[in-house]
């Protein structure tokens, strides 16, 4: 709203507006000899920036606007995990864009900053980063805070990633398992992944009552949010709830690792300190594999290794599927198609050999 009044010999305009926090503020300017001059000046402010919030808020840093945007539109409408991701984006914005304001941001500058981010991140990460910023920018345009879209037609690139080997062969799997000091938390986690095929979140979600020492089994019925520390979470799907038989050596190692533990409320790998995040466990695994002269795989590759070893040793696809907690056998067949085809060729050779000896 705009109002005008005469102060002494000059005129003043006053523009009332509501800022992004919902608080009413005012812009005043005086010194105009004629009321018409004050009206013209006020109209220029409004026409140049469409509304008065553009006059004020176009001068705020992108990081400040994005923070306000999260508070207004995301804090009460997304999960805690998703909110953490938005706040991570905010941290990157602060580092990359600094004090650059919405009004200063243009396509060239925005592309330069995206390219800088892309030099250290994979294309998928860059795309997510850009998508979240763009969502806020489009809202700023809708609110007439800025007039043009600096994120339009942004080119998404990223650092090329050399994908490691998917799984270990039988000999390397044995070598790894036999050279792990399972008194160490991270090495015990790696050991369990290698001999059970459990997912990382499943392993760090194990509690004392998950382990049945009498029947030599480990039960998976929930996972642990190791990344954002929000506590226990459901399993990936219903089929992921399962009971896994374990060998006597694994049972002994579990007894030794949990010997001093008494509470069943906390995961056995997060009783005193938080469970390591996936990046940490992958770093540890990479270091161990390098020291043993074994090709690098990711932590998830231990799950693939376990399944491949079982299949090559003659365990049925159905049994492997149940042990891994796949939703159906089709998932297992699709994931390990290369192994199944190789085994099928071996079976065909056996069939021909049997028929040749008739």
- The owner of tokens 């949990």 is 258
Q: Sort strands 24-32 and 10-18 into parallel, antiparallel or unpaired.
A: antiparallel
Does 6 share its domain with 82?
Answer: no
Q: Is 328 a member of any domain?
A: yes
3-state secondary structure (DSSP) of residue 31: strand
Q: Note whether 137 and 215 are same-domain residues.
A: no
pLDDT band at 349; cut points 50, 70, 90: confident
In the chain, how many domains are there? 3
Residue 165 lies in a domain: no
pLDDT above 70 for 78: yes
pLDDT: which is higher, 53 or 319: 319
206 with 68, same domain: the answer is no
Residue 90's CB: how many other CB atoms inside 10 A?
Answer: 20
- Residues of the chain with pLDDT > 90, as a percent, come to 57
In angstroms, the CA 281 to CA 274 distance is 13
Q: Which helix (H) or strand (E) holds 336?
A: none
Domain that holds residue 185: 170-345
**Where residue 16 falls among pLDDT bands split at 50, 70, 90?**
confident
Can you give the C-alpha Rg of the chain in angstroms? 30
Compare 352 and 191 and report the one with higher pLDDT.
Answer: 191
| Residue 159 resides in a domain | no
- Burial code of 151-175, b = ≥16 C-beta within 10 A, e = fewer? beebeeebeeeeeebebbeeebbee
> pLDDT tens digits, residue range 142-175?
878 888 999 999 999 998 766 678 899 999 999 9
Q: What are the φ and ψ backbone dihedral angles of 303, each rounded to 5 degrees? A: -65, -45
CATH of the domain at 119: 1.10.150.130
Q: Are residues 201 and 273 in the same domain?
A: yes
Residues 253 and 137 in one domain: no
Q: % helix / strand / coil in the chain, to the nearest 5?
A: 50, 10, 35
Residue 22 lies in a domain: yes
| Per-residue pLDDT tens digits for 321-343 | 999 999 899 989 988 988 888 88
Q: Positive or negative, the Cα torsion across 211, 242, 264, 267?
A: positive
Q: Looking at the structure, do residues 266 and 306 belong to the same domain, yes or no?
A: yes
Residue 257 has pLDDT above 50, yes or no: yes
Residue 88 lies in a domain: yes
For residue 356, tell me if it sits in a domain.
Answer: no
User: 219 and 180: one domain?
Assistant: yes
- Contacts with 100 (C-beta within 8 Å, 6 or more apart), sequence order: 61, 62, 109
pTM: 0.61
Same domain, 73 and 198: no
Cα dist. 71→20, 64, 75, 86, 164 in Å? Answer: 10, 11, 5, 10, 40
Does residue 108 sit within a domain?
yes
pLDDT tens-digit series, residues 134-151: 999 999 898 788 889 999
Please tell me whether residues 44 and 71 are part of one structural domain.
no
Question: Can you tell me the distance from the alpha carbon of 254 to that of 177, in angstroms, rounded to the nearest whole number?
Answer: 14
133 and 178 share a domain? Answer: no
Q: Do 189 and 338 have their domain in common? A: yes
Look up the CATH number of the domain holding residue 222.
Answer: 1.10.443.10
In a domain, 154, yes or no: no
Same-domain pairing of 200 and 267: yes
Rounded CA-CA distance 202/186 in Å is 14
Residues 205-245 have pLDDT tens digits of 999 999 999 999 999 999 988 877 788 999 988 999 999 99
């Amino acid at each position: 709203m705009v109002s005008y009044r005469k102060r002494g010999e000059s005129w003043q305009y006053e523009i009332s507006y509501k800022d992004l926090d919902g608080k009413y503020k005012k812009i005043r300017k005086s010194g105009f000899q004629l009321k018409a001059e004050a009206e013209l000046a006020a109209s220029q402010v409004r026409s140049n920036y469409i509304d008065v919030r553009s006059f004020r808020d176009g001068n705020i840093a992108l990081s400040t606007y994005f923070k306000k945007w999260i508070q207004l539109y995301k804090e009460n409408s997304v999960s805690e995990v998703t909110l953490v991701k938005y706040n991570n984006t905010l941290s990157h914005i602060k580092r990359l864009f600094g004090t650059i304001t919405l009004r200063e941001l243009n396509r060239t500058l925005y592309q330069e900053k995206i390219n800088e981010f892309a030099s250290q991140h994979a294309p998928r990460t860059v795309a997510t980063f850009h998508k979240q910023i763009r969502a806020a920018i489009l809202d700023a345009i809708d609110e007439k805070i800025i007039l043009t879209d600096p994120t339009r037609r942004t080119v998404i690139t990223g650092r090329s990633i050399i994908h490691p080997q998917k799984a270990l062969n039988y000999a390397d799997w044995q070598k790894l398992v036999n050279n792990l000091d399972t008194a160490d938390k991270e090495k015990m986690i790696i050991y369990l992944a290698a001999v059970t095929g459990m997912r990382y979140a499943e392993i760090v979600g194990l509690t004392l009552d998950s382990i049945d020492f009498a029947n030599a089994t480990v039960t998976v019925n929930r996972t642990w949010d190791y990344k954002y520390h929000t506590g226990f979470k459901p399993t990936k799907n219903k089929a992921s709830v399962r009971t896994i038989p374990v060998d006597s050596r694994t049972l002994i190692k579990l007894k030794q690792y949990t010997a001093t533990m008494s509470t069943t409320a906390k995961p056995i790998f997060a009783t005193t300190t938080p469970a390591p995040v996936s990046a940490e466990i992958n770093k540890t695994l990479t270091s161990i594999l390098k020291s043993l002269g074994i090709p690098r795989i990711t932590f998830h590759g231990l799950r693939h290794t376990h399944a491949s070893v079982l299949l090559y040793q003659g365990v049925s696809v159905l049994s492997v599927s149940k042990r891994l907690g796949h939703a159906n056998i089709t998932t297992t067949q699709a994931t390990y198609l290369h192994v199944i085809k190789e085994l099928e060729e071996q079976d065909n050779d056996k069939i021909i050999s049997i028929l040749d000896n008739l």
